[in-house]
Amino acid sequence: MKNINGIDTYKNGVKDVNIIRNIKVVYKDLKITPEAKDVNNQVSVNIDLKDTNKKIDKNGGKKIPTDLTSKVIVKIYSSR
């Protein structure tokens, strides 16, 4: 949670506020198949404006294609 102070839109007009959060995501146990090879990230944000008692809820998402390739080398050894 982050409080932003010093914004007075009554005196100073509209003010754009950008808050950027960088997060690290680790995916575990993904079932990637040729039919389902995209990862769908979802995000939601809730903003409570205390002065006006207004609440803003937004949801979004982005589909990220995976490019998972692998190389398998099979070696056959003779027991002779």
Q: What confidence tens digit (pLDDT) does each residue in 5-46 have?
A: 778 888 888 888 877 788 777 777 877 777 777 888 888 888
pLDDT band, very low/low/confident/very high, at 69 (cuts 50, 70, 90): low
On whether the CB atoms of residues 47 and 59 are closer than 8 A, the answer is no
At 68 the pLDDT is 63
CB 15 within 8 A of CB 9: yes
**What pLDDT is recorded for position 78?**
76
Q: What is the pTM of this model?
A: 0.42
DSSP letter (8 states) at residue 12: H
Confidence (pLDDT) at 16: 81
Write down the pLDDT at residue 1.
64
